[in-house]
Amino acid sequence: MRPEIASLLGIVVAAVLSMPVYHFGRARRGVDKLEIADRGSFILGPFLRDWFYWFIHPVVWLSLALGLSPLFYNLLGVVFGALAGWAFATGHHALGGWGVLLGGVADILDGRIARAQGVASQRGAFLDSSLDRFAELGAFVGLAVRFGGSPWGLAWVTAGVGGSLLVSYTRARGESLGVVCKLGVMQRAERLILLGFAGILDPAVSARWPDLSWSDAGGASLLLPVLVVIAVGTMGTAIFRTVWIAQRLPAVDPRR
């Protein structure tokens, strides 16, 4: 068994075994005090999202004991994004996938630690959102280098990063005008999960079914179709949010 598959399988087994423990202890634990009330939807459902927050709580506890700040995890997310980009660019797809997933975990930890320390602020929220974009851009730049020899591959990478940024931009711009929209698919969590798992599994898929690799696509069998899904999903969500928000804004300036 390939090392990346063995590592992923071990984590999945540990996760599945922990879910009954989480489920039967939910009533005793009560409401998650580190969660925000107005978080958007998660395509895999609230149970898996809430379980994951519980699963990584020991890291939160250890970070609080060590005095690590939310900014530490903001910057760590950027580092993981840059490392993922380097790994994708040099053909280390599994390593790139792990970098994407670990960057996502760092993104979750910064907010939970900020709320646990009582230091959540507008400045922190701004840095969190902005540095998330830097981290995501780092991974996509590496993918652009990897698929640079394929016009269609490069096009899908460009559409993916553009759509990802537009999903965030439409929400932010709408909120600045007083309209909150967290609807749609391919938000950051979904993008990270798809791209991370695709990177980790890509070497095994490419070795087992080499005929599925696209010419000039860096030997990837799984990454490219997942990038297509991300590009279509993010563009679709950005278009939907644009229309949804525009319909709820006045066509005439109310100050006149």
- Catalytic residues, by residue number, are 132
Question: Are 185 and 43 spatial neighbours (Cβ–Cβ below 8 Å)?
Answer: yes
Phi first, then psi: give them for residue 240, nearest 5 degrees.
-60, -45
